[in-house]
Structure 1
Amino acid sequence: MTTIVIAEDHQMLIDGVKSFFEYDEEIKIIGSVNNGEELIKLVELKQPKLVITDIRMPKMDGIAATKIIKSKFKHIKVLALTMFDQPDAIKQMLDAGASGYLLKNSGIKMLSKAIKVIAEGNTFFDPNVAFNFMNDYIDKNVTIGKSDQIVLSNREKEILQHIANGKTSKQIAEDLFIAKTTVDTHRKNMIRKLNLNSGNELVKYAIDKKYQF
């Protein structure tokens, strides 16, 4: 059985997860807290097999908490459950020692899948997060969740609108005050998310959806 503690500052989400797994014979929620500091104490007390943690929390964020947990208990797995889909956030959680990264809008069934994959010693990622750089941080088998829903971030939608208006990556970067490499990364991620084959197909998609963002 996979024993789990959850760190999340929204109690409603915790209650929903507990309710879903209440009668699951393979997964057992053995504790929950609402901030990073309490998470450290709970992990020391309960010694779970897996920690599910948000990134933004009071007192101590999930990244800092993960670093401490992995330094003290290398065998305990960590799954990030968050709304942040920015590459920097993903990179920081990976560097801290997380074995998975899942967005909150992915649904409870994908959370169940992520838990089981990570418990088996593998790595799990939400299909809607940027993962083109992940091979630099992962040396285990990686599972990418499957979803029929395509979720573009607000920044991606913004860049897609600029693409639809015929702007280059350099022009978009100047307009949005971000690096050109950041724009290029978003382009690659959108091509992957939308199951396209090239930058030209992305441009065509952007033009087709110009007034639907």
Structure 2
Amino acid sequence: MTFNPTAGSSSPSTRVLIVDDHELARAGLAAVLACEPGIEVVGEADNGAAALDFVARHPVDLVMMDLQMPVIDGIEATRRIKALHPAIGIIMVTVQAKPDALMEALRAGVAGYLLKDASRREIIGAVRQVLRGEAFLNPDLVLQTLRRLAHATPTDDATPIEPLTPREQQVLRLLMQGKTNREIARELIISPGTVKVHVEHIIAKLGVSDRTQAAVRALELGLVRDKGRD
């Protein structure tokens, strides 16, 4: 097991744990994040069980989590971490470019989903976005998921939801593309503050706790479709 908490360093504003069963993958992510001010990799783990042990013993703000690992995989580790430490943000970093994997990760509680071929800019962007409390989802993978669900029957749910307004539907679509509030504001030509209010209304209407879970709920209910199919 690899379990290497950083020793003797000052406490950074953002403490990151990297979890992956491949040493080179951990080293690559650590090298990318090491160049960013205000971010420090405080530990590494090579499976989900080691990750759970680490967050129980050391303060962590963000976990970069692999999906497929021995002992405890990334999905189960995410569920357990979020249950015990809901404030910790988790970004799944994986080779699994499949809609089913994305949905499972979102249901487990991840705030971001990155593919392992992501560029340095995408990785840093995802980290910064999640730290702001916004979701980061791979746009191509979200599009694949929407296209698949366009052919599926929406989830049958006995709990009715309050209908979304046309503007809320627009905001939800862009939110699910991984866009930030500022990016949504620019596209819809409204203020970021107005976007924030719309997001809060969407979360309340869908009966979820955050924007990532709003995306999951919208996918399950078939509220958002691929734009090309509208």
How big is the shift at 1:113? 0.4
C-alpha deviations, 1:78-125, integer Å up to 9, x for none?
110001121211111111111111111122220110000000111001
Kept in 1, the 8 Å contact 2:60–2:88? The answer is: yes
Q: What is the alpha-carbon distance in structure 1 between the residues aligned to residue 32 and residue 94 of structure 2?
A: 18
Q: What is the alpha-carbon distance in structure 2 between the residues aligned to residue 20 and residue 41 of structure 1?
A: 24
Name 1:99's counterpart in structure 2: 111
How do 1:175-186 and structure 2 match up within 5 A? none
Pairing 1:144–2:178 present: yes
Q: Give structure 2 stretches of 5+ with no counterpart.
A: 1-12, 150-154, 156-171, 180-224
CA RMSD, Structure 1 to Structure 2 (Å):
2.7
Name 1:14's counterpart in structure 2: 26
Name 2:36's counterpart in structure 1: 24
How do 1:70-149 and structure 2 match up within 5 A? 70-130=82-142, 131-132=145-146, 144=178
Kept in 2, the 8 Å contact 1:122–1:143? The answer is: no
Q: What is the alpha-carbon distance in structure 2 between the residues aligned to residue 20 and residue 124 of structure 1?
A: 18
Name 2:56's counterpart in structure 1: 44
Q: What is the alpha-carbon distance in structure 2 between the residues aligned to residue 110 and residue 20 of structure 1?
A: 11
Q: Give structure 1 stretches of 5+ with no counterpart.
A: 146-187, 200-213
Q: What is the alpha-carbon distance in structure 1 between the residues aligned to residue 21 and residue 121 of structure 2?
A: 21
Kept in 2, the 8 Å contact 1:117–1:143? The answer is: no
Kept in 1, the 8 Å contact 2:18–2:29? The answer is: no
Kept in 1, the 8 Å contact 2:18–2:30? The answer is: no
**Does 1 or 2 have the higher relative contact order (CA < 8 Å, sep 6+)?**
2
Aligned-pair identity in percent equals 27
Kept in 2, the 8 Å contact 1:123–1:143? The answer is: no
Q: What is the alpha-carbon distance in structure 2 between the residues aligned to residue 21 and residue 37 of structure 1?
A: 23
> Aligned letter for 2:19?
A
Q: Which has the larger radius of gyration?
A: 1
TM-score scaled by length of structure 1: 0.62
